[in-house]
Amino acid sequence: MRSLSFSHSEGLDLFLGQLEAFVDATQGLSDMDLLQPSMCSGWSRLDAVVHVRAGLEEMMAGYLTHTTSDPNHDAASHWSNHPDDRDVDPVPHILWLRRTASAYGRPSAAVRHLEAVGDRVRQVVAGSADRRVEFQNMTLTGGDFLATWTVELAVHHLDLALRGSSPTTESLDVTKRTIEAIAMHSIPNGLSGGQGVLAALGRTPWPSQVPAHPSYPVSL
């Protein structure tokens, strides 16, 4: 795995830009829009929104957990340390998401909840000083921590599969660089932007006209 790091100012700009893009992408979606399948196997768009909202609440708590310990993970190696076994058996998490999503009276209420959480996260993060963060038994610089959440938001933005809405150009670039650092191999030139990211993550089939590489797909 290749190393990948970002300064605090870089990570902050990337995260805030993609947070705004993701929340904006969900605005105006009808209840039926939200109940449609996402690009993530087994998830509806509503499930993706609920997953991101819950993640942002966890992220906000983590960002407030400062440490003086030396960083032991960066923006790429962060993804090698999964806190649970959902990559081995995704079904329990899928069902948890469905149960959590069903608690809302209407799917659109989950979007309003996401917007409120997004506002709180923005207030916590914007203008913050650089700090080292402890999160899920890892220590990261503030810039790398924010970059990992930029990637999280960008991937799930793509999962929403919304016509005319895509992650920011900058967050797509960071996501591509993260995937390539994990795979230690570049995404082929024949796969660009969101198409390349989705194929490299296994969300969509690898195009037959583009040479495959054994490092792909990768898991984030």
Give the chain's end-to-end CA distance (angstroms, integer). Answer: 13
Give the CATH architecture of domain 8-200: Up-down Bundle (1.20)
- Say how far apart CA 153 and CA 136 lie, in whole Å: 18
The domain ranges of the chain are 8-200
Range 61-84 burial, b when 16+ CB lie within 10 A, else e: ebbeeeeeeebebbbbbbbeeeee
- Name the 3-class secondary structure at 140: strand
* 134 DSSP 8-state letter: E
Q: Supply the pLDDT for residue 76.
A: 97
Bin 161: left if φ > 0, else alpha if -120 < ψ < 50, else beta.
Answer: left
pLDDT, mean of each 10-residue run, the chain (220 residues): 96 98 96 97 97 96 90 96 75 95 97 98 92 93 97 98 95 97 90 90 89 87
